[in-house]
Amino acid sequence: KKLISYGFNSVINLNRDFYDDIQKNTTPEYDVLITNPPYSGVHMEKLLDYCSKIAQSGKPFLLLLPHFVYTKDYYQRALSSKVSADVFFLVPEIRYSYFPPTWVEAKSGSKALEQGRIKTAPFPSFWYIFTPTKIMPSRWLVDNFGPSGTVRPKHQSKLRYAKSTEHIPRDFRGEFDPLKKRANPKARKRAAKRRYDAMKASGPGLN
């Protein structure tokens, strides 16, 4: 419904086994792959392996993944060096929060639910994107989002553009990224308050 409201009238969102479709070569015809996959098991590795193949044929993908994925060995294994070099990132100003699955209980792993919230943001996540330059030139990205690595978002979506992993904002870097430096206690406290205020403004359950 969200995509349709933005003018994308041909959207495929079916309850199917995506990996089974890949294996049987029965994936529907599409122009762009947009997905927020499960973060457990080998889902992300299998998805990246598939995306590497479709990127080589010029098909764009937009993947909403955790901040640590680009630091994992499977990220480099799955994506060819050419595709990896062309992937860029759109990073939100504030962490995305999620509705946990129905099987998650407050007493068995969700501090957010335990505290009475209906959403949780256990770690940062952002968009990993590949598009051929003929579809989305880097000049368009700079004009709309500002130069790569800009801290304060220019676009109304509050997304920040990072042309490479070196330009990902510090607070969204993976924990094993050597460029990530731990902020001082005051800065961490301010960041925590911003996250809390953003989650409070995003919906009920935080009073």
Per-residue pLDDT of 88-97, as tens digits, reads: 999 998 888 8
Contacts of 108 (CB under 8 A, 6+ apart): none
- From the list 119, 121, 103, the residue with the least C-alpha distance to 195 is 121
Q: How far apart are CA 115 and CA 205, in angstroms?
A: 9
Q: Where are the alpha helices (DSSP H) in the chain?
A: 2-5, 18-24, 43-56, 73-78, 81-86, 111-114, 138-145, 185-202
Could you tell me which residue, 139 or 199, shows the higher pLDDT? Answer: 139
Average pLDDT for residues 104-121, to the nearest whole number? 60
Question: How far from 69 is each of 43, 113, 184, CA to CA, in Å?
Answer: 12, 25, 25
Confidence at residue 207, expressed as pLDDT on a 0 to 100 scale:
33
Confidence at residue 205, expressed as pLDDT on a 0 to 100 scale:
41
pLDDT over 80 (residue 119): no
pLDDT tens string 148-191: 988 887 888 889 999 999 999 988 998 888 887 766 677 767 76
